[in-house]
Amino acid sequence: MRAIIVEDEENVRAGFKKMLDKFFPDILVVAEAGSVSEGKETLVKHTCDILFLDINLPDGTGFDLVKDNTEQTFHIIFITAYDQYAVDAFKVSAADYLLKPISPDDLRSALDKIKSESEDIRAVKRSVLLENAETSYSQNEKMILNDIDSLKIVQIQDILYCQADGSYTCFFFVDGNKTVVSSHLKEYDRLLEPYGFMRCHHSYLVNLNQVASIHKADSSVILNNGDSIPISFRKKSVIIQALKTRFLG
């Protein structure tokens, strides 16, 4: 597989190339770049199967480079220092990323994942990621969910609540549909919190923007569609305060 590395730190590029040479001899680095402008020139001159792309570059971001190459079908693996929003954006969009410092095991996992991806799936993931990059923790953002049959793109604002079902999570939507994914609810707990979601029970994660009322007597949340979600005793006061803060200031 032919690869291009776009990373502004020369020592990081050199170390990354050594790792590829040592552990991944089937990957050939055909070009390098240290900025968005250099990356654009490089992608005109060279073709690649994988683009290893840093987020923070001297003259822009990795997203700027991706926007100008929407017709190309190479895999993208983002490289980033720990930045909470960037990482959350990748997770919500199901994008592939590596956190610095990069380990061979993390790189191997990312490569194994992308090798099974179709061109259509790559295009969908890239499109959703770029849309989400324009906003910051907005419920207008989209989310990619992998269920047993397909890759689904959903609006975060359309999620009513999530329910744990063993090692699976069921997403319930305003239109009455639901989607089951093979991930634990705890994986979505922190990920969706910035978008207005809150754990109201060990088995439920609720979208506070969809809450119509709280029944204090039976400790439940009533959603806009009429569904009733239980609230654990220790979460009741926290949920009430969160709603007051969110809607009353």
Please check whether residue 93 lies inside any domain of the structure.
yes
3-class DSSP state of 181:
strand
> What local confidence, expressed as pLDDT, does residue 10 receive?
92
Radius of gyration in angstroms for the set of CA atoms belonging to the chain, rounded to a whole number: 21
> What local confidence, expressed as pLDDT, does residue 240 receive?
81
pTM over 0.75: yes
Residue 232 lies in domain: 147-248
Number of domains the chain is built from: 2
State the Cα–Cα distance between residues 169 and 164, nearest whole angstrom. Answer: 5
> What local confidence, expressed as pLDDT, does residue 248 receive?
66
Mean pLDDT by runs of 10 across the 249 residues of the chain is: 94 93 94 95 92 92 82 84 77 85 91 83 84 77 86 93 95 95 91 90 94 84 93 84 73
CATH number at residue 85: 3.40.50.2300
CA torsion angle 89 117 106 12 (round to 10): -80
> What local confidence, expressed as pLDDT, does residue 249 receive?
58
> What local confidence, expressed as pLDDT, does residue 162 receive?
97
Residues with Cβ within 8 Å of residue 131, at least 6 apart in sequence: 141, 142
CATH number at residue 180: 2.40.50.1020
